[in-house]
């Protein structure tokens, strides 16, 4: 079932804090911080991506999943660790780098199969393709940041899957558009990690 909560400012701030606290603790000790959030919306199952960018704007890591089989907060924890340590395009992030990194979370929403470029709205939709065992996904912000048309966006997601530019037109191709709630720490600055750990442990103790 697609994630259908509309996150408010406090929820976005909390999930970003969880992402940062998880990255800090994992890079420091190899452990995932314990505890669960109070907000019900963060306990619902969701697919999500975590993107790491240097404050100067360069990408430093991005990993996510469309699979909706874990609570949002747990998915974000897993993807924060993966983005920091397992993105094959970059060396693993070092603990002392985190102060120079801005974390962004994309919470994936409803998916709809499409067949034509006019069904894609740039800035609103991301795209995913599966064809002949190959898969690729691009988040909504990638197309809007690059000023792509719908046709270009479809070509690029095919390329991401290592498919021909026009593979999306093939009958066996499963092309889906999806929405995402995208937010980052530039709008919701992080707290001190120790404060976050204390909040999570208090929440866990209240369960």
Residue 127 pLDDT greater than 90, yes or no: yes
**What is the band of 206 on the pLDDT scale with cuts at 50, 70, 90?**
low
pLDDT digits (tens, 9 = 90+) for 8-55: 999 999 999 999 999 999 999 999 998 888 899 999 999 999 999 999
pLDDT reported for residue 1:
74
**What is the band of 188 on the pLDDT scale with cuts at 50, 70, 90?**
confident
pLDDT reported for residue 2:
81
Q: DSSP for 132-188, please give it.
A: TTEEEEE-HHHHHHHT--HHHHHHHHHHHTT--TTGGGSTT-EEEEEEEEEEETTTS
pLDDT, average across residues 106-135:
96
Q: Is 25 helix (H, G, I), strand (E, B) or coil?
A: helix
Average model confidence (pLDDT) for the chain? 92
pLDDT, average across residues 62-90:
97
φ and ψ of 105, to 5 deg: -120, 135
pLDDT reported for residue 38:
80
Residue 207 pLDDT greater than 90, yes or no: no
pLDDT reported for residue 190:
62
pLDDT reported for residue 191:
58
pLDDT reported for residue 36:
84
Does residue 201 or residue 157 have the better pLDDT?
157
Handedness of CA 146, 57, 6, 76 (dihedral sign): positive
Domains of the chain, earliest start first: 9-205 (3.30.700.20)
Residue 201 pLDDT greater than 80, yes or no: no
């Amino acid at each position: 079932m697609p994630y259908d909560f509309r996150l408010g400012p406090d929820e976005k701030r909390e999930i970003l804090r969880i992402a940062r606290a998880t990255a800090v603790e994992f890079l420091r000790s190899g452990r995932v911080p314990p505890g669960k959030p109070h907000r019900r919306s963060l306990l619902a199952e969701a697919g999500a991506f975590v993107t790491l960018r240097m404050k100067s704007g360069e990408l430093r890591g991005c990993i996510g999943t469309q699979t909706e089989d874990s609570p949002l907060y747990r998915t974000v924890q897993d993807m924060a660790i993966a983005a920091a340590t397992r993105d094959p395009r970059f060396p693993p992030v070092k603990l002392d780098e985190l102060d120079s990194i801005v974390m962004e979370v994309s919470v994936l929403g409803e998916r709809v199969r499409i067949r034509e470029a006019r069904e894609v709205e740039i800035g609103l939709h991301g795209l995913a393709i599966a064809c002949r065992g190959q898969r690729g996904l691009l988040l909504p912000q990638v197309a809007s940041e690059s000023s792509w048309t719908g046709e270009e966006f479809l070509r690029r997601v095919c390329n991401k899957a290592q498919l021909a530019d026009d593979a999306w037109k093939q009958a066996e191709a499963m092309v889906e558009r999806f929405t995402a709630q995208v937010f980052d720490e530039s709008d919701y600055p992080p707290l001190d990690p120790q404060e976050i750990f204390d909040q999570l442990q208090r929440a866990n103790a209240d369960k």
